Amino acid sequence: MSQQRIAQALAITVMTLALGACAHHDTDSQRSAAEYSDDTSINTNVQAAVLGVPGVHANDIQVSTYEGVVKLRGMVDNQKAAQNAIQAARQVEGVKTVDYDMSVKSSY
């Protein structure tokens, strides 16, 4: 084999390995349909529970769920409503933790 062919073969091998490394997928970041479905179910149940709390209104609160971790964001009527919403979310089956960023509406 000539040196030119060896160089070409080596270049092709290096490029193939480089492209293979770029195509690597992190399997931890891929979610199954069942995991997605679980989060959707949890999210729906948390929304129902939280919206049943006096002082929490559908237009003012956002609920999201990822891998059982629920996030509550938005505005509530008072501090008690915020505490009750967090507690209601924690009691939903499948919820691992509840993160929250809720503010009390100003009363003026």
> What is the mean pLDDT for each group of 10 consecutive residues in the chain (108 residues)?
67 60 52 84 95 95 96 97 97 97 87
Give yes or no for a contact between 39 and 66, defined as CB atoms under 8 angstroms apart: yes
Question: Please, what CATH class does the domain formed by 31-104 belong to?
Answer: alpha beta
Rounded to two decimals, the pTM is: 0.70
Q: What does the pLDDT read at residue 20?
A: 57
| Residue 72 β-bridge partners | 63, 100
β-pair type (97-104, 69-76): parallel
Q: What does the pLDDT read at residue 33?
A: 83
Neighbours of 68 (CB within 10 A): 14
Burial class of residue 22 (count of CB atoms within 10 Å of its CB; 0-12, 13-18, 19+): exposed
